[in-house]
Amino acid sequence: MYIHIVDDEPQLLASLSLILRREGHDVQTFSTGEAFLAEAADLPSGCVLLDLRLPDLDGLEVQSRLSALDTDHAVVLLTGFGEVPDAVSAMRAGAIDFLSKPYRREKLRDALTRASERIEENRHQRAEREKLGAVHSLSERELEVLRALATGKQSKVVAFELGLSTRTIDMHRARIMKRLNVANIGAALVLAKEAKLI
């Protein structure tokens, strides 16, 4: 898993990144929130181990700005000053966990496992949003053909009703499936239904 550590303590950055690399993770480190945010959108989706107290921005602000970037990263906040209101704010904003330093390795591993699950969930939700977005990009004619095909009628019947040739309907059907990246018209109809277009 990709892990991005954002902390201003050089010793912690060095020791934690060494431990995590030994466990097979790909680790990048940042000593300020601004440095991390400058690259966050281009980094591989991963777990962000984010210190609550940073010299420039606090961890909650970094978490808020990261959320606005609409990435698939999952956040685990770290702090040596574990305050309950901060923990509550972090969790409400979507953090996976809030770990107090020094943290036990098993708690960190547990948080990383949950972060990995969240990243996959985020990727899945993004893919679904993109598919629904593709449905909304269909032309009026393509939507008209798709709605007609939703009735279960054959292409030649749809063609007759819409005043088009069967070949044109088949071309629209093929274009719809290609634009929505689906294997059959049934899958396209499911997406259109989820998008409330039929």
Cβ pair 155, 169 in contact under 8 A? yes
pLDDT in tens, the chain (198 residues): 999 999 999 998 898 999 999 999 999 999 999 999 999 999 999 999 999 888 898 888 999 999 888 888 999 988 876 566 777 777 777 888 888 887 788 889 999 999 999 999 988 888 877 777 788 888 899 989 999 988 888 889 999 999 999 999 999 999 999 988 888 988 888 888 888 788
Residues of the chain with CATH 1.10.10.10: 137-194
**Torsion on CA atoms 44, 45, 46, 50, rounded to nearest 10:** 90
The fold of 2-125 is Rossmann fold (3.40.50)
pLDDT of residue 42: 93
Parts of the chain belonging to CATH 3.40.50.2300: 2-125
Q: What is the pLDDT of residue 7?
A: 93
Structure confidence at residue 40 (pLDDT): 95
Length of the chain (residues)? 198
Q: Are 101 and 79 in contact (CB under 8 A)?
A: yes
Paired tokens of 113: 């496992």
48: left (phi over 0), alpha (psi -120 to 50) or beta: beta
pLDDT at position 123: 87
**Is the Cα torsion angle 30, 36, 38, 43 positive or negative in sign?**
positive
How many other CB atoms are there within 10 angstroms of residue 104's CB atom?
Answer: 10
As a whole number of angstroms, the distance between CA 48 and CA 35 comes to 13
Count Cβ atoms below 10 Å from residue 11 Cβ, excluding itself: 8
- Rg of the chain over Cα atoms, rounded to whole angstroms, equals 24
User: Does the domain made of 137-194 have the CATH classification 1.10.10.10?
Assistant: yes
Assess contact for 38 and 66: CB atoms under 8 A.
no
